[in-house]
Structure 1
Amino acid sequence: MAKEGLDAILAASAYGQHIQVLFMDEGVFQLLRHQSPKSLSLKSPSNLIETLPIYGITDLYVCEDSLTKRAINEELIMPGTQCLSKEDIKHLIATQDAILNF
């Protein structure tokens, strides 16, 4: 599902949309650096996520609570990703025109 979500994000950015991406729950694993899914014949989503700024997508957020529940330290995720509290997430969602959920 991660690949499809990233494809949708890139497609929307091609139409000049201001994109903000929030990673929550199991999605936080996509932000882990130094993944090696090649042994499973897969491509790492982190490689594609790292290229998002090239497409003008610079607002990357991660749910602080999701990281904590999975014992993931902030230093283990991609740099440039901003941690948000539940209250910050509520505000972020309330300010969006459209929301895609993957």
Structure 2
Amino acid sequence: MLKKEDMPICAVATTVQIIGSKWKLLIIRDLLEGPKRPSELKKSLVGISQKVLTSSLKSMIEDGIVERIDYEEIPPRVDYKLTPLGDSLKPVILIMEQWGNWYKKQL
């Protein structure tokens, strides 16, 4: 997780630093529906490479917005889900969706 002293002064810049990549936003969108396996995320995120998916999830875990759930099973199974902090991004994603729909209508 970022330390307070490492964060930008501007709150918008802080938000962009945490969720500013295209893939992170779409991962959050998908995880708002509930926990997902890595294969489900990759299938939903057309065009994402395995490397970028793994890197994005790792970064989001470090930032405290995603949690990795390891099941003690054979074969191994892993799910990812939003933490309560990550879930608090729901209004941000919903307003982005509303704006995107509005923008499409303007064209």
TM-score relative to the length of structure 2: 0.29
Larger Rg: 2
Per residue, is there more helix in 1 or in 2? 2
TM-score norm. by structure 1 comes to 0.29
